[in-house]
Homo-oligomer: A and B are copies of this chain.
Amino acid sequence: MTSLSDIAKLTGYSKATVSRVLSGNGYASQQTREDILKTAAELDYATNAIAQELAYGATHNIGVVLPYIKSPFFSKILEGILEKSFETGYKIIILPSNYNQDLEIEYLEKLRKKAFEAIIFTSRQVPEETILKYQKYGPIVLCYKPEHSGIPATYANRIPAYREAFEWLKEQQCSNIGFLLSRGKSPTISTTLQAYKDVYHLEARPEQIKSGLISAEDAYRLAPQLTQFDGIFANSDEIAANVWRWFEEQGLPKPIIVGQERLLAGQLLKLPTIDNHCRQVGRMAFEQAVSKANKQTSVHSEFILER
């Protein structure tokens, strides 16, 4: 509990001088320096991070909103963010949202209260209008393509790779494709359906679309409803792999299954996949959060057949 003023009193120097020596910025004679450092060591002094932040006017915290931690998509983005934060000395605070709007707003409120210097949404549920309103309190960066051009973002440009995947599925004679998605309404779903339409020149029928797939278990549970399809476009390799597993166990002929994120589970089964380069997305999102640059950048997804 020894504070800077304790040292000041004991050494006889002023708080300012002590601060200079201890923080390392500012002049101080060799002798002074030694005196102060010596008694600081004796008293086991440690500078108080909170007070420092208050004086500085900001924390070096960055909040990262994650709907789920288990999902490979989010955890890979997080990896990227951590890599960068680490190099720059920022602290990363995990904000689990479970796609709960109230929670997301709570986190935005914390940004407003300066609990974080910036906030990164790996995904979100709150309307973009809400995001816009909170922008004045600090940088808010999204990890998907916003509808609004005034919001900083880094995202995977999925369309070309998705098209490639559908073209390949078409070549394989797949005529009835099922889509496995996480949320009912997400930016990704429209991308998926658009790419499908571009290639097949058909609107997807509602019964082709299955949503609510988060964990691998969800996939296994849903699999029995997929027997009608000759092709499956899944939102992750883990989902894809678990569908595969159900068919395998039932001894049924398998549809062609395409996964995403280039994960081990897909690799084991040699499933085609789409790598959305999420780590890179995370790294870039972090940079935007600290640079405060209001721009939108994208990373190209990649369709991978041979593994």
Binding site for B on A (CB under 8 A): 46-51, 53-54, 58-59, 61, 69-70, 75, 78-79, 82, 86, 91-94, 96, 109-110, 112-115, 137, 216, 238, 241-242, 244-245, 264-265, 267-269
Q: Can you show 12 pairs from A to B with CB atoms below 8 A apart? A: A49-B113, A50-B115, A69-B79, A69-B82, A70-B75, A82-B96, A91-B93, A93-B93, A94-B94, A241-B264, A241-B268, A264-B265
CA distance A58 to B49 in the complex (A): 10
Q: If the complex has contacts A54-B54, A69-B78, are A46 and B112 also in contact, measured as CB distance less than 8 A?
A: yes
Taking a contact as CB atoms under 8 Å apart, the answer to whether B265 and A268 are in contact is yes
Cα–Cα distance between A91 and B94 once the two chains are bound (Å): 7
Bound state CA distance, A109 and B94, in angstroms? 21
Contact partner, A264, options B51, B53, B109, B216, Cβ 8 Å = B216
Of B49, B69, B114, B267, which contacts A75 at CB under 8 A?
B69
CA distance in complex: A268, B269 (Å):
9
A29 to B291, CA, bound (A): 46
